[in-house]
Amino acid sequence: MPSPTIVWFRDDLRISDHPALHWAIERGEPIVALYLFDQHSPEIRPLGSASKWWLHRSLLALDTSLRELGSALTLRSGPARETIAALVSEVGAGAIAWNRRYGASRAIDQDLKAQLRAQGVDAHSFHANVLFEPWTITTKDDKPFQVFTPFWRSCLSGEPPRQPLSTPTALPAVESVESEQLAEWALEPDSPEWSASLSDHWTPGEDGANDRLGAFLETGLALYHRRDEPGIDATSMLSPHLRFGEISPHQVWHQTHQVTQPDARANVEKFLSEIGWREFTINVAYQHPQLHTQNIKPAFDQFPWRWPENSELEPWHRGLTGIPLVDAGMRQLLRTGYMHNRVRMVTASFLVKNMLVHWRLGEQWFWDRLVDADEANNPGSWQWVAGCGTDAAPYFRVFNPVVQADRFDPDGSYRRKWLPEWGTDDYPDPILDLKESRGRALSAFDATKASPLTG
């Protein structure tokens, strides 16, 4: 009698280079391809609005791919510990497989693996969504790295990442497994005015991810040395596809190494080091599961950040601060669910240092509006800018948005694209003085350093 295998899809919404799916096919039994929408387990951070928009479309794309192989996506919702156990019993599964995750949710996986194995179910997890698993990259003292450069040097000193696994050509399916309807989950935003243009900029799903990587390697990688200039197309734009696992870092790694154009090859090492930053922030989240709520450096628990009402944050939210580079970045976020990385640093610095607003409020806004918001990179980047994180920018480094614009957007093309009223009477006056607000931030930092609680 068949003993089906459940393949539990999570942040790996693809069929190629999918170790858990590969193992399930080799096991030889019918497969239940499951996506569980878990917004109930305490270890799971509920998705933001833009992430839900992306997830809806990515699940549609995954279901299409599975149907082409003779299967389909089964949808369930609820807390994982109870819902997974119930499905295993319902279909009489003899095995379950998933690809590992590394934040707070790994506690769920550990509990389920122990529970199911005790019941005789063959439960397996696999290395799939990072190049190097966190516990494999440590210092000589067997401690986690706190600084990126030696971390990445250690990564590169060992065996190279494995080759991607092949794409399956057929899947043996379990018939008549009940599935919830995607529309029931109401992932589409209730207020579509900010999300209406997202589909103009993105194609969620595995095909969209592969197309994006192909286009970047063909034309963008040769320009990557100019990646800090937001007005040109010199970045990969792969971050949301990697966040949802529509493409694996192993695929990105090996396809990037296959480029032959000399101008592109000159930028391979630097581009892959940015993939390394993704690895590093996942490593940090593995060490600090509450990365989005707790300062890594406890001294900053005493820092006098403000927690203003949303009404005071409205100019920053809507790109109406009167500081052109900040406003251009926030308008890009509103229209596309994305912001150029250099501008992310500038807008974040403006909020937490010039406005003295707690980084968690900025992180929460980006979590809700970024299509690439993930539990490692988003809070890790905010803590980096705020000065309280691992390998953080020193607090006294306050990004001057005027200087940054002069250096990285010298012709104003990025600002003009997102601020059509820039330079007219319709553009607002600055909400604060950059020099004075920088001084206040540095004074607050000095006072924190002098505190007996931090000294």
Tokens of 261: 């154009």
At 276, list the tokens. 């390394």
Token output for 226: 């100019």
Measured between alpha carbons, how far is 13 from 8 in angstroms, rounded to an integer? 10
Token pair 């969620």 is found at: 204
Q: How far apart are the C-alpha atoms of 355 and 231, rounded to whole Å?
A: 26
Q: Which of 58, 95, 32, 71 lies closest to 168 in space, CA to CA?
A: 71
Q: Is 162 helix (H, G, I), strand (E, B) or coil?
A: coil
Containing 341, the helix (H) or strand (E) segment is: helix 341-349
> What 3-state class would DSSP assign to 172?
coil
Residue-by-residue DSSP string for 228-253? T-TTS--S---HHHHHTTSS-HHHHH
DSSP E strands, 281-385: none
Sign, CA torsion 418/423/426/430: positive
- Measured in residues, the chain has a length of 455
Neighbours of 24 (CB within 10 A): 26
Burial 115-134 (b: 16+ CB within 10 A, else e): ebeeeebebbbbebbbbbbb
Only one residue has tokens 């319709």, namely: 426
Q: How many other CB atoms sit within 10 Å of the CB of residue 4?
A: 22
pLDDT at 175: 85
pLDDT at residue number 394: 77
Per-position b or e across 276-301, b if 16+ CB within 10 A of its CB? bbbbbbbbbbbebbebbeebbbebbe
| CA distance between the termini of the chain | 68
Q: What is the identity of the amino acid at 184?
A: E
- Angle value at C-alpha 175, between 174 and 178, nearest 5 degrees: 100
DSSP one-letter string for 320-361: -SS-HHHHHHHHHHHHHS---HHHHHHHHHIIIIIS-B-HHH
pLDDT value for 452: 47
Instruction: Say which residues have a Cβ less than 8 Å from residue 102's Cβ, sequence separation at least 6.
Output: 130, 133, 134, 282, 283, 285, 286, 376
What's residue 396's pLDDT? 79
In terms of Cα–Cα distance, which of 160, 393, 151 is closest to 277? 151
Give the tokens for residue 18: 């999918």
What local confidence, expressed as pLDDT, does residue 393 receive?
72
Give pLDDT < 70 ranges for the chain.
1, 192, 450-455
Find, among 262, 226, 189, 199, the residue nearest to 61 by Cα: 199
In the chain the domains, ranked by start, together with CATH numbers, are: 5-129 (3.40.50.620), 130-161+204-287 (1.25.40.80), 298-447 (1.10.579.10)
230 neighbors 195 (Cβ within 8 angstroms): no
Amino acid at 360: R
**What residue type is assigned to position 445 of the chain?**
F
Predicted pLDDT of residue 434: 97
DSSP 61-128: HHHHHHHHTT--EEEEES-HHHHHHHHHHHHT-SEEEEE---STTHHHHHHHHHHHHHTT-EEEEE--
> Is the separation of the CB atoms in 16 and 164 below 8 Å?
yes
pLDDT in tens, 240-258: 999 999 999 999 999 999 9
> In the structure encoding, which two tokens stand for residue 327, read together?
């406003």
Provide the pLDDT for residue 196: 82
pLDDT at 451: 57
